[in-house]
Amino acid sequence: MRRAGRRGSRFPPRRSNLAGMNAPHPAPIPFLDLNAQQARIGPKLRERMDAVLAHGQFVLGPEVAELEGRLAAFCGASHCVSVSSGTDALQIALMAEGVGRGDAVFLPAFTYTATAEVPLLLGATPVFVDVDPRTFQMDLTSLRGRIAGVKKAGRLRPRAIIGVDLFGQPADWAGLREIAAREKLFTLDDCAQSFGASLAGRRLGREADATAVSFFPSKPLGAYGDGGALFTESAERAALYRSLRTHGEGTARYEVLRIGMNGRLDTLQAAVLLAKLDVFEAEILRRDAIAAIYDAGLHDILEIPRRVPQSRSAWAVYAILLPDEVLRDAALGGLKAAGIGCAVYYPRPLHHQPAYAESHDRASLPVSERLGSRIMALPIHPDLTELQAKRVVTVLRATLEG
Ligand SMILES: *Cc1c(COP(=O)(O)O)cnc(C)c1O
């Protein structure tokens, strides 16, 4: 997910797509095209940013509170506290619970590094859990086994579950909540990739005790820099998050109640997000239409994304599975040769990363270990045209069938 948009100027000038899909040198198709989005909503963006330049309240200006209200309303959460990044949102949520040394935090092995980095920064131990082979979301059977293992070993205290809504789809929150309630664990939704998605008819934001969202530029709702937000139904937690994001301050100025951090969202980023929020729902529908084109064009030759039941994806990533590494690498090579952006999330599960080897207990997590050699992501963004999506299908089919 850490891939900001490339500048269009790196490529030859775009020709008309109507020139035909079999033109000798069709225009490249970028993996993400933030410039196209900027051209589409430019006047609104500039108006919002100019307002901040005019009033000059660059930290906790009026746009920050306005955005928090709009985001809470958008997902139906009682409280929204904006913060400086998705990673800081995760950290503040765990700091507020006092998670630290001796605590086991259960999280999927197949996710972005930030999910596991945060418990370690606080002195806690990430316990890696395997994922479902078709939805890539945390596997409940593996989770139950890992919790039982930690209890049996008796070295760590089970403390929290971080459920990750991977690639734009929700994790199995009904199942995760049931396990957390039985084991008395805090639930944190790492919704960095999936704000805007819904589960059982309601938008993500209140599935767990706290929900962390990222506004990194390439996420479904992206700022022009780092940003994030926390959602919760608890007024006490929301008050703690506000204190923690400003150095643990109390209600009086320069009263310091606890160790916090500098974790606020910039007013300029709030202004950018307000402009983008106006078109966000329409953009999710555009991504959905692109996914439908890929589904129809590819389902008979490879594994298309399996939908989580009763959900709607925010389509941060459209991930396909090839039978093996040779075919996956051929598909990557074919697309790259045709100038089509593609990526691999994630080539290596976290428990096999050098940084996490020491904290991992050596358990094997076979699904997470195999996915990295079979998975790849196709371009999916709101400014991808139907013709471009069809060309991706054509090139991929030609590569795999040719
Ligand atoms: C992007 C991401 C984060 C971190 O968000 P930042 O805003 O980049 O700090 C955390 N978890 C997951 C799953 C992510 O994809």
All domains in the chain, ordered by first residue: 6-37+279-401 (3.90.1150.10), 42-277 (3.40.640.10)
Crossing angle of helices 34-55 and 267-298, in 10° steps, is 170
Q: Is the CB of 350 under 6 A from ligand 1?
A: no
* Max Cα distance, the chain (Å): 70
- pLDDT of 6 reads 44
Q: Is the CB of 163 under 6 A from ligand 1?
A: no
Q: Which of 82, 164, 169, 214 for mutating ligand 1's site (highest number of atoms within 8 Å of CB)?
A: 214
Q: Report residue 343 as tokens.
A: 């990526």
Phi, psi of 286 (to 5 degrees): -65, -45
Q: How far out from the chain centre does Cα 123 lie?
A: 24
Q: How close is the Cα of 86 to the center of ligand 1, in Å?
A: 5
| CA proximity to 114, closest of 145, 81, 91 | 91
Closest-CA residue, ligand 1 atom 13, reads 112
Q: How close is the Cα of 251 to the center of ligand 1, in Å?
A: 30
C-alpha dist (Å) from residue 46 to 40, 51, 54: 12, 8, 12
Walking along the chain (402 residues) 10 residues at a time, the average pLDDT comes out as 44 44 75 96 97 98 98 98 98 98 98 98 98 98 98 98 98 98 98 98 98 98 98 98 97 92 98 98 98 98 97 98 97 98 97 95 96 98 97 98 87
Question: pLDDT tens digit string along 124-179?
Answer: 999 999 999 999 999 999 999 999 999 999 999 999 999 999 999 999 999 999 99
Q: How close is the Cα of 285 to the center of ligand 1, in Å?
A: 23
Measured from the Cα of 193, ligand 1's closest atom is 15
For the four alpha carbons of 220, 221, 223 and 226, in that order, the dihedral sign comes to: negative
C-alpha dist (Å) from residue 250 to 89, 92, 239, 257: 19, 16, 10, 6
Q: How close is the Cα of 193 to the center of ligand 1, in Å?
A: 7
- Model confidence, pTM: 0.94
Q: Is the CB of 114 under 6 A from ligand 1?
A: yes
Q: Is the CB of 198 under 6 A from ligand 1?
A: no
3-state secondary structure the chain: CCCCCCCHHHCCCCCCHHHCCCCCCCCCECCCCHHHHHHHHHHHHHHHHHHHHHHCCCECCHHHHHHHHHHHHHHCCCEEEEECCHHHHHHHHHHHCCCCCCEEEEEECCCCCHHHHHHHHCCCEEEEECECCCCCCECHHHHHHHHHHHHHHCCCEEEEEEEECHHHCCCCHHHHHHHHHHHCCEEEEECCCCCCCEECCEECCCCCCEEEEECCCCCCCCCCCCCEEEEECCHHHHHHHHHHHECCECCCCCCECCCCCECCCEHHHHHHHHHHHHHHHHHHHHHHHHHHHHHHHHCCCCECCCCCCCEECCCCCEEEECCCHHHHHHHHHHHHHCCECCECCCCCCHHHCHHHHCCCCCCCCHHHHHHHHHEEEECCCCCCCHHHHHHHHHHHHHHHHC
Q: How far apart are CA 392 and CA 386, in angstroms?
A: 10
Q: How close is the Cα of 292 to the center of ligand 1, in Å?
A: 26
Q: Which of 83, 110, 195, 216 for mutating ligand 1's site (highest number of atoms within 8 Å of CB)?
A: 216
Q: How far apart are CA 94 and CA 42, in angstroms?
A: 37
Q: Which of 91, 112, 317, 346 for mutating ligand 1's site (highest number of atoms within 8 Å of CB)?
A: 112
Crossing angle of helices 62-75 and 34-55, in 10° steps, is 130
Q: How far apart are CA 281 and CA 197, in angstroms?
A: 10
Q: How close is the Cα of 221 to the center of ligand 1, in Å?
A: 12
Q: Is the CB of 115 under 6 A from ligand 1?
A: yes
- pLDDT of 24 reads 59
- pLDDT of 7 reads 43
Q: Is the CB of 192 under 6 A from ligand 1?
A: yes
Q: Which of 113, 190, 224, 345 for mutating ligand 1's site (highest number of atoms within 8 Å of CB)?
A: 190
Q: Is the CB of 228 under 6 A from ligand 1?
A: yes
Measured from the Cα of 87, ligand 1's closest atom is 9
- pLDDT of 22 reads 52
| CA proximity to 108, closest of 147, 139, 153 | 139
Q: How close is the Cα of 356 to the center of ligand 1, in Å?
A: 17
Q: Is the CB of 82 under 6 A from ligand 1?
A: no
- pLDDT of 174 reads 98
Q: How far apart are CA 92 and CA 96, in angstroms?
A: 6
Which distant-in-sequence residues (6+ apart) come within 8 Å of 160 by Cβ?
94, 97, 99, 103, 105, 106, 119, 185, 186, 187, 188
Closest-CA residue, ligand 1 atom 6, reads 86
Residue 316 identity (one-letter amino acid): A
